[in-house]
Amino acid sequence: MGQYQFKSILCICIFSFTFLQCIEEDNKNDFLLSLLTLPRVNNSSVSPCPPTSLPTEIPIANTVVSANSNVSGFSNSTKAINGICGGGEFSGSLDVYALNLTGAGATLILSWGGKTVKNVTGIDFIVYENPFRVSEASDRYAFDPMVVHVSFNGTEYCGFDLSGFNPSVSDSNKISSWPGFAGLRPVIYNMATKPFTLDELFTSTGSGFLLGGGDGFDLNNLIVGGPGTNCDAAARTNIQTNGFKFIRLTTALAVNNPTTGTGYVYPHSYDNGSDIDGVVAKEVE
């Protein structure tokens, strides 16, 4: 999504087929916040992604274990394993599998076809969704946060610390308001048009951002307990020692926040949750 300013008029274009809205400069901040109530859309073609073949040196999750979404037009779960097709800082890919907001369809489980994602130095895996920054001058993002859980045996799932979640209405679309969640940072990586090496994908550019985008997670940061898990100390130690085989991604609204007793709420007016582009591990065996 680009920003163009002429004198006192700000025009922000959001392409979902055709849409243009212009506002006066004085009302810019209110308008940027109102963008969050609109569906997140793609504003540029990412063709020819997905690629005809996946790069063998990139350990992408390649097996759908469980998928039940019924989002019209985006319920093909193979879109979550057919390659990373990021649209860049200001646009989101449409080559995604969309989760429901709640219910069984709000969760996707993927694996690496029996291989184990290892606990190595630093970030161990990256989750790619399709967020985008709402304007060049803003720290606000249009995103669908999701909760990440991992498991060695497919039964005991452990997750990450979400206790820092406490956004107000005015900052609920800031990445800093959603520590521990995925689906926050734009996806720069595009396997067909903007390739990266594995080392480049796991290269930090500061403040939690990675060179190829997406949200990175370190298994050393797993916690015992946590919303939506059945993780005890033994399960966490097993994953941190031996790695994990399964990753479970759930729309934030479908996970109970123990502080409020309801799901993790974020601004939206559309009827689907997180849009999964894929998951890449640093090392598998």
Give the per-residue pLDDT at 268.
Answer: 67
Q: Contact 105/274 with Cβ under 8 angstroms?
A: no
Q: Over the stretch 63-109, which tens digit does the pLDDT of each residue have?
A: 999 999 999 999 999 999 999 999 999 999 999 999 999 999 999 99
Q: How far is CA 140 from CA 76, 84, 261, in A?
A: 29, 23, 27
Rounded to whole angstroms, how far apart are CA atoms 276 and 249? 9
Rounded to whole angstroms, how far apart are CA atoms 213 and 204? 9
Q: Contact 84/62 with Cβ under 8 angstroms?
A: no
Q: How far is CA 147 from CA 33, 50, 160, 271, in A?
A: 23, 25, 8, 18
pTM above 0.75, yes or no: yes
Q: Over the stretch 177-231, which tens digit does the pLDDT of each residue have?
A: 999 999 999 999 999 999 999 999 999 999 999 999 999 999 999 999 999 999 9
pLDDT at 124 over 80: yes
Give the per-residue pLDDT at 156.
Answer: 98
